[in-house]
Copies of this chain bind each other. A is one copy, B any other.
Amino acid sequence: MSNRTGTLLGTVFHVPEREQAYGKRALRNAQNLVDDETTDSDITVVCNGGGIDHLLASAPTADQISELIQVGVRVCACRNSMGEDVSLADLVDGVEVVPTAMGELTKRQAAGDAYIRP
């Protein structure tokens, strides 16, 4: 976590795909940036569409999500994509719901964040 002190940069990861291997890879990418001692960046992960599945408390990626949240990564679910089928109670503790992924991705970049689409 030492590389997350005195943060100067910001990065938003966009995770829109349902495939489980994709979700694991995308979250590993975010973890790699946490662990990169040459880059000091505040990290947000935004999941939408099928990507919502990776945020479920019952998902194989639940531990990866928890670990990211514990080191200060902000993890967001698109309310639009959650629809009627998924509620906040279904998601890993600490996940935040945003009105739309598209709006959040726009606002983060307008605030200066880099965008990465794994």
Contact = CB atoms under 8 A, between A and B. Distances in A.
Nearest to A117: B117
| 10 A-B pairs closest in CB distance | A39-B103, A109-B114, A33-B102, A36-B103, A36-B100, A106-B114, A117-B117, A11-B106, A38-B99, A9-B110
Interface residues of A, number: 36
Interface in A59-118: 80, 99-103, 105-110, 112, 114-118
A80 B8 CA distance: 23
Given A41-B103, A115-B116, 7 more contacts: A8-B110, A32-B80, A33-B106, A36-B103, A38-B99, A41-B106, A106-B114
B38 A103 contact: yes
